[in-house]
Structure 1
Amino acid sequence: MTDLNHILVEDCCKYYSIETSFVRTLNDQGLIELEYTNQSYFINHEQLSVLEKYVHLYYDLDINVEGIEAISHLLKKIEDLQSELRQLKED
């Protein structure tokens, strides 16, 4: 892939010292979005901070992918509620 905004998943995994299967599982669960081109998976630069958060949860805190899904869902709900609260305060 010639797009400079994408990184080969294998290169990313080497950098973070993580397994490619973990990144693909995150993709399968809808937690990150990978692009498949020329028989290779790529991740967008914008998603690296999200991946780093999941890497920390999985490898450092020993939280499984199902737990990461639950945490991600709850954090999204909190962000939505905070946004709604800000809008209500502006009115």
Structure 2
Amino acid sequence: METQELIIVDLFCQEYQIESNFIHDLEAFGLIKIIVVQEQKYLDKNQLATIEKIIRLHNDLNINKEGIDIILSLQEKENQLLEEIKYLRNRLGLYE
């Protein structure tokens, strides 16, 4: 993976005004993945939207890591169900 697609954890924390321990706690809990390249810790840019959502849930709504995990799981399940509904509607359309 190229480092162009990565964000340095310390710089991310400075920009978002959060403690680096929070990011490490999220990784330990399994909510995000930290990538280590030559002893430098990075976040994948593809995780950025999820991490921002987690920060908002935690800071704005005071939701703990367990609650965030449940919310993210439910959102993923909702997306899967919506995809299944879309697929089934398309299949049903073939018979109409």
Q: Same fold (TM over 0.5)?
A: yes
Match status 1:69 vs 2:75: no
Structure 1 portions without partners, runs of 5+: none
The aligned residue for residue 80 of structure 2 is: 80
The aligned residue for residue 9 of structure 1 is: 9
- Partner AA of 1:33 in structure 2: K
Structure 2 portions without partners, runs of 5+: 92-96
Match status 1:54 vs 2:54: yes
TM superposition shift of 1:50: 0.8
Q: Alpha carbon RMSD of aligned pairs, Å? A: 1.5
The aligned residue for residue 32 of structure 2 is: 32
- Partner AA of 2:15 in structure 1: Y
Name which one, 1 or 2, has greater alpha-carbon Rg: 2
Q: For the residues of structure 2 that align with 1:13 and 1:2, how far apart are their CA atoms?
A: 21
The aligned residue for residue 20 of structure 2 is: 20
> Alignment length, in residue pairs?
91
- Partner AA of 2:36 in structure 1: Y
- Partner AA of 1:40 in structure 2: Q
Q: For the residues of structure 2 that align with 1:81 and 1:2, how far apart are their CA atoms?
A: 34
Q: Per residue, is there more helix in 1 or in 2? A: 2
Q: For the residues of structure 2 that align with 1:40 and 1:60, how far apart are their CA atoms?
A: 30
